Copies of this chain bind each other. A is one copy, B any other.
Amino acid sequence: MSIIMIERQILEKNDAVAQENRTLLARHRIFTINLVSSPGAGKTSILEKTLEHLRGRLNVAVIEGDVQTDLDAQRVARYGVPAVQIVTRGGCHLEANLVREALETLNLNEVQLLIIENVGNLVCPSNYDLGEDLKVVVASTTEGDDKPLKYPPMFRNASVLIINKIDLLPYLNSNLATLRNNALQINSSLQIFETSCTTGAGIEAWCTWLDAQIKR
């Protein structure tokens, strides 16, 4: 009982800081997405393809959340965008105060789109608002088509679902229509994109949508 109250206090404090982040980002007219998924669903690959596609068109900054390493920030930095690595040292999700610290290191006047890549985890990040405009959940075809039913909060709290690794569908028992239906059963207003970072399929549609969200 006392533990539940502590958790609630943590969330309340987190939500207050998230709201401050949101105000700060809105003041700078920065559109912010919080990218979440299981480990290995392809968040960083989608991020790389997105940076490649938007290069020269938009000023993008990236905040990377990882349990331990800065491998992902290294991958992202190659695209010439400002990248801040947050290492959670075992923590299974990002929190708003960590994002606030990261924001302090960025020149927000030069950012139009901020992409926060959360820790790879389908459970923990779902309850933690970071101050983003919306959550984008990535589900890869190789994880099976039942994941929205098994991890509903993440799909319920997201606005966009990217179904990634569609190039592997011919080799899987996983069914794309079932995955879509399961996701829409949990959250009927999900905007869905289907992508492959190997073939490049669907990346343009996703980036066009993303570009249209920018506050110009």
Chain A residues packing against B (C-beta within 8 Å): 3, 6, 10, 38-41, 66-69, 71-72, 90-92, 119-124, 140, 142-144, 146-147, 149-153, 165, 167-168, 171-173, 198
Ranked nearest first, the 8 interchain pairs of A and B with the lowest CB-CB distance are A40-B143, A142-B142, A92-B123, A38-B39, A39-B122, A38-B38, A40-B144, A92-B124
Selected from B121, B150, B172, the residue in CB contact (under 8 A) with A71 is B150
**Are A66 and B150 CB-contacts (below 8 A) given A120-B122, A121-B121, A121-B123?**
yes
Which residues of B sit under 8 angstroms from A66, Cβ to Cβ? 150
Selected from B10, B122, B140, the residue in CB contact (under 8 A) with A121 is B122
Residue of B nearest to A150 (CB): B69
Which residues of B sit under 8 angstroms from A68, Cβ to Cβ? 149-152
Residue of B nearest to A139 (CB): B40
Q: State in angstroms the CA–CA spacing of A92 and B153 once bound together.
A: 12
Q: State in angstroms the CA–CA spacing of A92 and B90 once bound together.
A: 14
Give 21 CB contacts A-B under 8 Å: A6-B6, A38-B38, A38-B39, A39-B143, A41-B143, A67-B152, A68-B150, A68-B151, A71-B146, A71-B149, A90-B153, A92-B92, A92-B121, A92-B124, A120-B151, A121-B122, A124-B124, A140-B142, A142-B142, A142-B165, A173-B198
Are B6 and A39 closer than 8 Å at their CB atoms?
Answer: no
Are B40 and A142 closer than 8 Å at their CB atoms?
Answer: yes
Are A40 and B168 closer than 8 Å at their CB atoms?
Answer: no
Are A120 and B71 closer than 8 Å at their CB atoms?
Answer: no
